[in-house]
Structures are given as C-alpha cells and as structure tokens.
Structure 1
Amino acid sequence: MAIGQRELSLQLRVFLGILLVSLVCIAGTTLISYLVINRVAQVQNERSLQSKSLALMASLEYAISHDDIDRQNIAKKMRNKLMEISDINKLDVVLYDSKGRFLVSNLSEDLIKQKLVPAKVLDKLYDSDNGMVDYTFFDSEKGAVVSSSYRMLRDEPDPKVPPLSIVYLPSYYYNNQYIDIFNKYIHFIVLVNVLAVLLSVFISWRISKKITQTITSISSKISDEGRDLKPIKYSSRDELSVLVRAYNRMIYQLREQTELKAQVEREIAWREMAKQVAHEVKNPLTPMKLTIQNFQRKFDAQDPQIVDKVDKMSKVMVEQIDLIAEVASAFSEFAQLPEKEDVVLNLNEEIKNIVNIFDKKDIFIHANKDNIMLKFDKIYISRIMTNLITNAQQAEVYGRRPIINIDLEQFNKKVTIKVEDNGSGIEKEKLEQIFEPNFTTKSSGMGLGLTMVRKMVEEYQGSISVKSQLGKGTYFTIILPVGL
C-alpha cells in the first residue's frame, strides 16, 4: 500500500458489502418485476387482439350468411356493415377479393395505402391450413407495433373453392399500452424498494457495527496494558465465540502461570533474604565468639585491670548485639509493613515537614500547585521520602556541593514525585537490580529500603522508576493516583 493511502475500516467494508448485496437483490427483483409485468401486458394485449379478431370474423361470417352477399355485391353490401362491425370491435377492417385486390373498408379509400395484398402473403395464406397469417412489425411512422392479420372469409366449406374475401386486420397497438399497466404498479414498486433500501442500510449498519464492536472490545481487552486482564462475557454462539473462548483460556493459563511465577520468585527472594540475614548475623557473632574466647583464655581474677577488661568486653558484646538487633528490625520491617491508614493529606506540607528532619539547606522543593491533595498513608509517605532523601544524601560526591531537588506535579488524577540528586550516580548494570531485596551499593545495610519503597508505592496502584548517569546523579520518579 502506498504511503499515505488509507484503507477502509472493517466496519465500513462489512457495511458496504452487505449493502451492495442488498442493492443488487433489490435491483434484480425490480428488473424481474418489470420483465414479468411487461410480458404479462404483452400477452394480455395479444389475447385481447386475438379475441377481438375472432369476434370480428364471427360478425363478418354472420353478415354474409344472413344477407344475400356474393362476390359481385360484397363491396356494396358490406360497406355499412363494416362500419358497424368496426365500431363494435374497435378494429379497422379491409376486404380484398380472392386475388388480393382491394374491395371495401370501414376507412376511406384514400387512406388505404395497401390496395393489393403482397404476393408472398397471398401465397402463404393459400398454403396455410387454417386460412390465416399473422405479421408483427414496428411501424416507425406511427411509432407503433403493428400486428397484421390476414384471414380468409369463406361462403363455402370446401377449401378448394376460392374464398369470398380476404380480410385484412391492421391491428395497431402501442408500447404505452403495457407501459401504462406497469405505471400502475411503479409507485408501489418504488415505495417498496425505498423501504427495502432503508431497511438494508439500517440492518447492514447494525450488523457491521455489532461485528466491529465485538472485535474492538476483544482487541482492547487483549491489548489493555497495566490492568488485570479479565475474561470476556460473550453469549453468542458464532465464529467470534471461538476467539473469545480461546482468549478466556489464555487468561486462566496466564493467571496460573503468573501465580506460579510469583510463588517461585517469592521463594527465591526469601531464600536469598535468609542467606543475607544469616550472613549479617554471622558477622557480629564471629567477633563476639573471639572476644569471649580471648577473655576466657586470659582471665585472671587477680589481675588489677580485670574490671577494665570486663567493661571493654561488655561494650564489644553490646555493640555486636545491637548490630544483630538492627538486622532483625530491618528484616521485620520488610517482612510486614504496618497496616495502612488512608487520609487526605496536603502533599506540599507533608514533604516540607519530612525535609525539616534533614539538613534542608541543600534540599529544594518545587511544585506546580500550592496545595496538592492526595489520599495516602502518612507513615508510608514519610518512609518513602525519608528513604529516597537519605539515599540521595549518601550519594554525595566529595568536593561537590550536594543538591537535592524534589519536584511535585499534579495533572488530572495523577501525582508525580521526583527526587533528584547530583551525586555519584549508579552504574547502568546495577540499575536493573536496584529494587531487588538485599541489593545495595553501600558497604553496610540490608538493601531493603528501595524494595520497601516499591512495595508501598505498588500497594496504591502506583509506579516507581529510576534513571541515573554515573558521576552526575540519580533521580527517582513516583507516579501515584490522587485517590479522591
């Protein structure tokens, strides 16, 4: 397809296809109706002319049988009779003798152009078994179809005896005779066709819209990112139901796989966490063990410095025990977040209160609104911001003034919190692991801070992302729903 060329939508193509079929059917039925009515009109006209000619011949035969008419006086005696018979039957009549020469007609003689019957017609008439010959042709001068009938009028039953006269019936009938019949029905046909077209347009549009709506609904649900995929309710038993059933099966399979994957990931995370906790606990236990063994080996109750040595050992033991307690507290906080309590808070004021805890001369707050209202847990927002600001301060580069920018923005129903520092930055390879448990870039700590931050953000259907440039700084972006 050429660049810029746009294809018709599926709905329009289905609509036009169904409409085209409907219009072809309507046109076909209209044409057939016209041909049928036309044919019926012609047959009726031919039958009417035939019945009139038979009636006229019967009148002529009656006249010659009851009046003393012969070959010599036929022209004289039949003139008035022809006038009467012609008026009754609404047909013109011309009589010729047995050799095809003009005798008499209900028309004036100067109007009769054919004074002799054509030889070929005469021969054919004598060769016919029933004594009649019909010709039909179009007379361009009159603009009419002419149905000419030549019939033998006999006064003797013997076919070998020449006829008393040859009767010529120039039966004109016009095209508008059956067109008039068609016109009687044309208004009805047009009305029916208009209604059929409108109905076809409506039905075509409804069908095409229903098909495309169903396909669009299925497509939107399949491509809907960031939300839980849900099975589609579709009760119709058609071709699309196969697609819907396949999609629903896929949803259930994905859910099972997701749950299985989450379970595996949790097990892996807890195993790694257990290893990290064991490692952090062993670190203080080793010096504690060595201190006690050394004290036991050198213990002397008479030593004048025994009190100082006991006091020194006690301090070492207390420090190591406190370190173990710190590890246990960090692990406990990660394993179970406090139950959240949602309140409507002023994010601008809340961030200012949190910043006051730190050395705020290097922390700058910017907001696109004076009062950004957010439905959130106060403890959660405090822990999130405290963790991010602490990480930003700890990324300080020696010899460079540390600057932390906090940007607050609200657009529609979303709130964005950005925390940016000018610190040492994070290597690109480590960015992918930054939210994983026990990952840290510092020499000490459990590496659970950012993991807890992400967990708290995701509990509110939010998202957190990080970008960093080594040697220039890092900034975190949190997007949260307003929740109001």
Structure 2
Amino acid sequence: PPSVLQQLSSTLNKRIAEHHEVAGRGYQTSYSYITDLQFKPIAILSIPYFENDTFNERALEGSLYNLAIVYFSLLIVALIVAYFISKYITKSLKTIEQRLDKTRLLSRNEKITLKSAPAEISELVSAYNAMIDEIENSKALLAQSEREQAWREMAKQVAHEIKNPLTPMRLSVQSFQRKANRETQSSELTNEFCESLIQQIDILSNISTAFSALTNMPAKNDENFNFVPVIKRTLDIFNTDYIHFTYSDSDITAVFDRDQLGRVVTNLVKNAMQATENTPMPHIEVSLYKDNDCITLKVKDNGIGIKETDRDKIFEPRFTTKTSGSGLGLAMVKNIILSYGGTISFTSEVGKGSEFTAVLAHFLKTNQT
C-alpha cells in the first residue's frame, strides 16, 4: 500500500511493523525492502504473523504463584509467632489467675514471682503483690484487735472475780492482827505473818486494778496545760538520781488528760527502771520536745534491752519479761497514745538498752487569751 511505501521511505532501517485485528484477534505485519547487489530496492517483503501472549501469561501466572507462596509462608510464620507469644503471655496470666483463685483473707497467701515477664504483666504482678502485703498487714491488725478484745473481755471477768474477795480478806487479816497483838505474846511472829498476807493481798489488788484500768479506761478529761511541770512532778515520785529529764522548751502546751499523761510517763519509766535493775550504773533519760504540731516524749535506758523474739509482742496485754508485774503497763500506754491519734514505737539493742518514743500528733496548741 502507498502508506507502507511512504513509511518505509521515511525510516532509517527500512523496516516497519503494523498492528491489525481480524475477528477480534490481533496480528502484526512486518514490511521491509528487498534490495539488489547495489542496495537498490527492488521489492517489498510483507510477513504477517499472529500475536501470541502465552509466554507473558505464563510468566505472570508464575509470578503470581510465587507471590502467593511467599504471602502464605509469611502468614504461617506470623501465626506460629503469634501462637508462641500468646502462649507466653497467657502463661503469666494463667499463673496470676490461679493465685487469685487461691487468695483467701484468712489463709496464708503467696506472692507471685515471674521471670522475664512483659512490662504490663510485671506491673500487674507488682499490684497483686502489693495487695497481698496489704492483706497480710490487715490480717495482723485484725488478729491483734481480736486478741486485745478477747483479753479485755476476759480481764473484766477476772478483775471482778479477784477484787470481790480481796477487801473482806484484808479486813479479816487486819482484825486478826489486832486481836493477836492483844491476846498473845508472840506478836512479832504474828505481825510478820499478817504483814506478808496483807502484802500479797495488795499485790492481787494492784493486779486487779491494772486489769480494770486496761479494760475500762476512764473518760478523758482533756485540758490545755503545760506538759513540763506535770512530767517533773511525776518523776519526783521515783526519787532516784539516775533519772534525768530534759526538754526543748519550758512551755510545751497541748490538749491532753493530766492523769493519763502521768500514767504514760509512770509506766514507761517503771519499765526502764526494771530493765536497769542489774545494770551497774543505771541511767534513764526522759526527754520532751515539740516540733511543728507534734509533741514527742522519749524514755531511754541503758538496761538489758529487748530480745528480737519479744519485740512483736511487747505492747500486747499480759506479755511481760519480768518476774513480777502484770504485763499491762505498755499495753495501757499504747491505748492512751492511740486514743489521742498518736504513735508509739521503740528501738532496742540487747545488752545496751532501749528507747521508747511516743508521738502525740495534731494536739499541740498555743495559749490563747
């Protein structure tokens, strides 16, 4: 055709290809010059051929197949990794779930220990362990409260049963002592016997009084007063030269009950004196100072100290390490201090002494006119 001849003339390589379609199927025709020996065109060669996309289609199918294999392999690997990760996480959660199922208020609860746990699981475990600590502390406080309540109930009955016959017993012994002194010559032996009986009766009476004081504390008679002279008068009763009283200010004023303050000082000092009974050079230091809205009372001695096994029970009623005494003094001191919202604690070293610290919080007041 003329158009083909024109295109061949304008091309450099003297060769062209045209695309045609017949009955919806494409084919191409290639045109090129046939030249003689002098390279002059003598004819045009036309070669038609149908297009074949089988190779391209097969190449595309192979690529898609390989891509599908890669994606499928990645999916399998992802599922396996996800399985092991979920197994690892759920193992920790399973351990926590089992411990939570076993957690009981009245039984011994164990803490959770996990190695190499994720950060979120570690935080959950830490929260659980903190909850276990709080439960154990609450159980200890509850048990102590129940023991003290049971002891108070028992002490009421014991105090009542002991005190009832003591007064008539004492009166009877005193009456017998007077009659024996008038009627017999052996008054010295009789007096000695009666004095011994009266002394034992007084001991029982004091124990009964201590029971009553512990179980039925008198109503508070709060007033605003200076602690320093009250503590001085209380310490004067002991009449010993190894008790020293120091204070940060001559006027340390607070709202408190005078009598109960005297009980606190008396019991702490008596406890210190009993601890220094066998000390060659006993020394007891009572100090009082104020800081912001707190008043702190300290009683320090150089006595025998408190054994490690006795420290958890030192404030419990009926507990004592002395051969004499009711074991109610420190329990009474603790009740008084706690009733005013304060705290009491101690430090001790066996063979070197102890120091009791009573902090009365939120009760410091200045004198107002």
TM-score, length of structure 2 as denominator length: 0.50
1:406 to 282, 286, 293: 286
Q: Which residue of 2 aligns with 1:457?
A: 337
1:434 to 314, 327, 337: 314
Q: Which residue of 2 aligns with 1:326?
A: 206
Question: Aligned pair in 2 of structure 1 residues 279, 309: CA closer, same or farther (>3 Å)?
Answer: farther
AA aligned to 2:225 is L
1:392 to 272, 297, 314: 272
CA contact (8 A) 2:155 2:212 kept: no
Q: 1:239-388 counterparts in 2 under 5 A?
A: 264-270=146-152, 273=155, 308=187, 311=190, 314-359=194-239, 361-388=241-268
AA aligned to 1:405 is E
Deviation at 1:452, TM superposition (A): 0.6
In the aligned structure 2, how far is the partner of 1:402 from the partner of 1:257? Answer: 40
Question: Aligned pair in 2 of structure 1 residues 382, 428: CA closer, same or farther (>3 Å)?
Answer: same
**3-state SS of paired residue (1:361):** coil
In the aligned structure 2, how far is the partner of 1:342 from the partner of 1:385? Answer: 17
Question: Aligned pair in 2 of structure 1 residues 424, 263: CA closer, same or farther (>3 Å)?
Answer: closer
**3-state SS of paired residue (1:440):** coil
Question: Aligned pair in 2 of structure 1 residues 438, 280: CA closer, same or farther (>3 Å)?
Answer: farther
In the aligned structure 1, how far is the partner of 2:139 from the partner of 2:347? Answer: 30
1:419 to 292, 299, 310: 299
Deviation at 1:309, TM superposition (A): 9.8
Q: Which residue of 1 aligns with 2:360?
A: 480
In the aligned structure 1, how far is the partner of 2:310 from the partner of 2:355? Answer: 15
Question: Aligned pair in 2 of structure 1 residues 305, 365: CA closer, same or farther (>3 Å)?
Answer: closer
Deviation at 1:333, TM superposition (A): 1.6
Question: Aligned pair in 2 of structure 1 residues 322, 363: CA closer, same or farther (>3 Å)?
Answer: closer
AA aligned to 2:230 is E
CA contact (8 A) 2:153 2:215 kept: no
Deviation at 1:382, TM superposition (A): 0.9
Question: Aligned pair in 2 of structure 1 residues 278, 430: CA closer, same or farther (>3 Å)?
Answer: farther
**3-state SS of paired residue (1:419):** strand
CA contact (8 A) 2:151 2:317 kept: yes
Deviation at 1:421, TM superposition (A): 0.7
Deviation at 1:325, TM superposition (A): 2.1
Q: Which residue of 1 aligns with 2:72?
A: none
AA aligned to 2:221 is E
1:470 to 350, 361, 365: 350
CA contact (8 A) 1:404 1:421 kept: yes
Deviation at 1:341, TM superposition (A): 1.6
In the aligned structure 2, how far is the partner of 1:438 from the partner of 1:341? Answer: 27
Deviation at 1:451, TM superposition (A): 0.7
Question: Aligned pair in 2 of structure 1 residues 470, 343: CA closer, same or farther (>3 Å)?
Answer: same
Question: Aligned pair in 2 of structure 1 residues 320, 367: CA closer, same or farther (>3 Å)?
Answer: closer
> Unpaired runs of 5+ in structure 1?
1-252, 292-303
**3-state SS of paired residue (2:313):** coil
In the aligned structure 2, how far is the partner of 1:479 from the partner of 1:259? Answer: 20
Question: Aligned pair in 2 of structure 1 residues 467, 260: CA closer, same or farther (>3 Å)?
Answer: closer
AA aligned to 1:462 is G
Deviation at 1:349, TM superposition (A): 2.9
In the aligned structure 2, how far is the partner of 1:367 from the partner of 1:477? Answer: 14
Larger radius of gyration: 1
Question: Aligned pair in 2 of structure 1 residues 470, 414: CA closer, same or farther (>3 Å)?
Answer: same
Question: Aligned pair in 2 of structure 1 residues 277, 425: CA closer, same or farther (>3 Å)?
Answer: farther
State the identity %: 32
How many residues are aligned here? 251
In the aligned structure 2, how far is the partner of 1:275 from the partner of 1:358? Answer: 32
Q: 1:88-107 counterparts in 2 under 5 A?
A: none
In the aligned structure 1, how far is the partner of 2:184 from the partner of 2:310? Answer: 51
AA aligned to 1:389 is V
- Encode CA deviations 1:442-478: one digit per residue, 9 max, x unaligned: 1112111111100000010000011111111111001
